[in-house]
Structure 1
Amino acid sequence: MLDGTWMLLYTTASDVLSILQASQLPFLKVGQIFQKFECKGDSDEGIVSNVVRWSVPGVLQDDDGATLTVTAKFYAVSPRNIALEFQEAAVGSIMLSEEFQGLIAPALLPRTYLNLQVLQFIRGFTAKFPLQRREANASRRPPLGLLYYISFVDNTMFIGRALGSGGIFIFSKTQPLQSY
């Protein structure tokens, strides 16, 4: 049932609320937040990607100028609990605003090879950061705060709570993401 892309509708989780509050800064705009579950076979384990779309007004495209993705492995520890093992955070999918592209490579002047190389580098840029992992020999019991309780899930809605931090999440099923 978890397999697919879910859009965040509501949360009380402090880590996510701090991202949303950053949108109050004049130089940052936070867009939609998603969770994408890719289940292996029987859905007891797989990969979950937490995707935050964001922008810097005037520099990046308005609604989804860049993407922050935090990837974790997940596995079921009981019928209603999944454990997360965070793997990597990445910033990428950068889409520059028309105005900023015009500064780098003005349309009225001939675009040089260097201008185009700079634009291509920025568009293809991805920064990846490994996240703390458990020891390979450790038990399958995750550290506190990495358990997720599934209160309700069907084909359209997913309600859960992070155990340890106590944040509640409400998601609705959505179309697959174009890129992240």
Structure 2
Amino acid sequence: MKILTLSALLCAMITLTGAAGEYHSTDDVQRARSCPSGWTAFNSRCFLYVPRVLNWAQAERNCQSMGGNLASVHSFQEYHEIQRMIVRVSHYSNPAWIGGSDAQQERYWLWSDGTRFSYSHWCRGEPNNDRGQHCTQINFSDQKCWDDFWCDGSLPSVCARKR
């Protein structure tokens, strides 16, 4: 009887302390699925509008320092959500850097996070590589579309990271 009582007590302790490796508090699970403070969740990623103006390379490095990259955009819905976030933070639809660049090879656009460049929202006549423009700004012109811009220009930026 002592062995049975001791076994039941041991099983209860393992269950209550989480020693079985399966215990996760609701807060732990929620924290793992949510974004850091100030970031906006959309689908499987977190986005952050950075109002400080930087050139494209500095903006990419800044995003990397926070565990992400300049944002890649994979659908109209995602682009619209990024635009809404910018307006929510800045109260204006500011132009901003995202992670698209053709600096490695002209007209071969890549995302800085390595994902496939399968969606774009270029303005009419863009990208035009006017005098060596190789980096992507969003919210350009009244149409709020994409434009290739000089990478050494100074703009706010949008970072993205996985949740």
| Bin for the TM-score computed over the shorter chain | under 0.3
Greater relative CO, 1 or 2 (CA 8 Å, sep 6+): 2
Structure that is richer in helix per residue: 2
Under a length normalisation based on structure 1, what TM-score does the superposition of the two structures give? 0.21
Structure with bigger gyration radius: 2
Higher strand fraction (1 or 2): 1
